[in-house]
Structure 1
Amino acid sequence: MSLDIPAALENGFMRIPTRVAGLLFVAFLVVGIASTVTAQTLSLAVMDAIQQSMEPGAAPPTTPGAGTGALALDVGLAVAVVLFLTQLVVSQIVGVVAIRTFVSDARRTFPSGVTRRLPWVVVNALVAGFIVNVLIGIGTILLIIPGIYLAVALYFVQFEVVVEERNAIDALRSGWDLTKDNRLAVFLLLIIIFAIGLVSAIPSLVLGFAGVSPLVTALVSVLVGAVASIVSVAIGARAYVQLKPDGWSSDFGTADPFSY
């Protein structure tokens, strides 16, 4: 099927003022806070470990902004790594639930089967995401354009893992095929999703320039970022549904699909 961008945007935004979207927003908000805390904590722990390994009297590293996060926890490097990895897994779980919800017709309650084979799906989604990011990174090094092309061509790989429960390698193939005849449209859709992300960064930038405390700035960034994340997932999920074969429908069912 072909991708109808206005329809994907309309259908995605229509899924936001629903009960399940509200619950997912809370989950994204929690994940956003955890992500910020663990990332800042890991940065602080790495800087502390580097300083402790240096010879007495040596000048400490001067990476701008490193280890100065307002939400960082004062823990050792090993604990920081465990917290960061745990947050990655939790974030992926929330992503799986969100994608499965938005490809279904669920509006008031989460669809049945939303946690089906969750550990297997999460592992394969993480592996697939890692492979895609490595490929995009390599493509970006090769004059940027190949990286953009790969980001477009492989955008729905994780959707294939989450929805169709394919393993990471099979999802790379099917995700590539899914965008084959629609890559220009997918590219334009990704520009819109990227723009949503950029707009979501404006409030925290304004607060930073205004001299607002780093803690308040970080919390506002997480709040607005959660909104942008759920909107982006909803739009991506509805675009994914469009690209599936005629007659395809999600097998994640709900008893009250059109109830708000």
Structure 2
Amino acid sequence: MSLDIPAALENGLSRIPTRVAAILFVAYLAVGAVSTVAAQTLSLAVVDALQTAVPADATAPTTPGMGGGALALDVGLPVAAALFLVQVVLAQVVGVVGIRTFVSDARSSFPSGLTSHLTWVVLNALVAGFVVNVLIGLGTILLVIPGIYLAVALYFVQFEVIIEEKNAIEALRTGWELTKGERLGVFLLLLVIFALGLASAVPSVALGFVGAPTLVVVAVSVLVGAVAGLLSVAIGARAYVQLKPDGWSPSLGAPSPFA
């Protein structure tokens, strides 16, 4: 099938005012809050560790708490790193649930098989995401354009891991094949998703500019970010379904009335 961007947008948006999307929104909100705390805590711990390592006669001034934020926890670097890794895994688990839900036709209840081989899928999705990000980073170093091309060509790699339960290496191949002949359309779709991300940053930036309290700025950022994240996953999932062969359907099963 070919990619129909207006249809992907319409279908993605139509999944938002549903029961499953409301539950996912709460999950995305929680992950956003945990991620913010983890990132600020790690930043504070790294800066504090670096300050400790600076010789006493160094000319660079040091300030306690530099690099932290309003939600940073005062813990050591090992604990901060562990917290950050935990939130990475947690975010991936929620991402798996979100993609599987929006690829299916579930609206009032989650699809059966939602947690099928969850540990294996999460591990491979993390590996696939890491490899794709490294490739995009290397491509970006090579005059930017190769990085953009790889971001487009490999956009659905994690979808292949999560939905088809392929291993990371195989998903790189099948994800690449899935976008062949449709990469201009995928690029335009990613522009829309990128615009959503930019728009989601506007409220918190505006609040920061007018001097709103830090906690308010962070709360708005997490709230709007959760909405944008949910929209992006829903739109991407419906585009993924379009690119699969005619007659294809996810093997997750029908919605479960007990979900």
Q: Same fold (TM over 0.5)?
A: yes
Aligned partner of 2:165 in structure 1 is 165
Percentage identity across aligned positions? 72
CA distance in 1, matches of 2:197, 2:89: 22
SS at match of 2:85: helix
Aligned partner of 2:85 in structure 1 is 85
The amino acid of 1:212's aligned partner reads A
Work out whether residues 103 and 250 of structure 1, in 8 Å CA contact, stay in contact via their aligned partners in 2.
yes
Instruction: Give, in angstroms, the shift of residue 215 of structure 1.
Output: 1.3
Deviates more, 1:128-137 or 1:53-62: 53-62
Work out whether residues 28 and 230 of structure 1, in 8 Å CA contact, stay in contact via their aligned partners in 2.
yes
Deviations 1:12-71 (A, max 9, x none): 0000000000000000000000111000000000000001111114245779x9523111
Work out whether residues 45 and 76 of structure 2, in 8 Å CA contact, stay in contact via their aligned partners in 1.
yes
The amino acid of 1:122's aligned partner reads V
Aligned partner of 1:192 in structure 2 is 192
Work out whether residues 197 and 225 of structure 1, in 8 Å CA contact, stay in contact via their aligned partners in 2.
yes
Instruction: Give, in angstroms, the shift of residue 251 of structure 1.
Output: 1.6
Work out whether residues 51 and 60 of structure 1, in 8 Å CA contact, stay in contact via their aligned partners in 2.
no
Change (3 A) 1:49 1:136: same
Aligned partner of 1:104 in structure 2 is 104
Aligned pairs for 1:165-244 within 5 A: 165-244=165-244
RMSD over aligned Cα atoms: 1.6
The amino acid of 2:56's aligned partner reads P
Change (3 A) 1:152 1:77: same
Work out whether residues 203 and 220 of structure 2, in 8 Å CA contact, stay in contact via their aligned partners in 1.
yes
The amino acid of 2:218's aligned partner reads A
The amino acid of 2:3's aligned partner reads L
TM-score normalized by structure 2?
0.96
Work out whether residues 19 and 107 of structure 2, in 8 Å CA contact, stay in contact via their aligned partners in 1.
yes
CA distance in 1, matches of 2:66, 2:185: 38
2:30 paired with 1:30: yes
Change (3 A) 1:78 1:59: farther
The amino acid of 1:77's aligned partner reads L
CA distance in 1, matches of 2:42, 2:61: 16
Deviations 1:131-190 (A, max 9, x none): 000000000000000000000000000000000000000000000000001000000000
Deviations 1:220-251 (A, max 9, x none): 10000000000000000000000000100012
Work out whether residues 121 and 165 of structure 2, in 8 Å CA contact, stay in contact via their aligned partners in 1.
yes
Aligned partner of 1:129 in structure 2 is 129
Work out whether residues 41 and 68 of structure 2, in 8 Å CA contact, stay in contact via their aligned partners in 1.
no
CA distance in 2, matches of 1:200, 1:178: 29
CA distance in 2, matches of 1:195, 1:224: 13
Change (3 A) 1:255 1:96: closer
Change (3 A) 1:118 1:60: farther
Instruction: Give, in angstroms, the shift of residue 105 of structure 1.
Output: 0.6
Aligned pairs for 1:2-41 within 5 A: 2-41=2-41
Aligned pairs for 1:150-161 within 5 A: 150-161=150-161
The amino acid of 1:16's aligned partner reads I
Deviations 1:53-112 (A, max 9, x none): 11114245779x952311111000000000000000000000000000000010011100
Q: Unmatched 5+ residue regions in structure 1?
A: none
Aligned partner of 1:145 in structure 2 is 145
Work out whether residues 13 and 234 of structure 1, in 8 Å CA contact, stay in contact via their aligned partners in 2.
yes
2:47 paired with 1:47: yes
Query: How many residue pairs get matched?
Result: 256
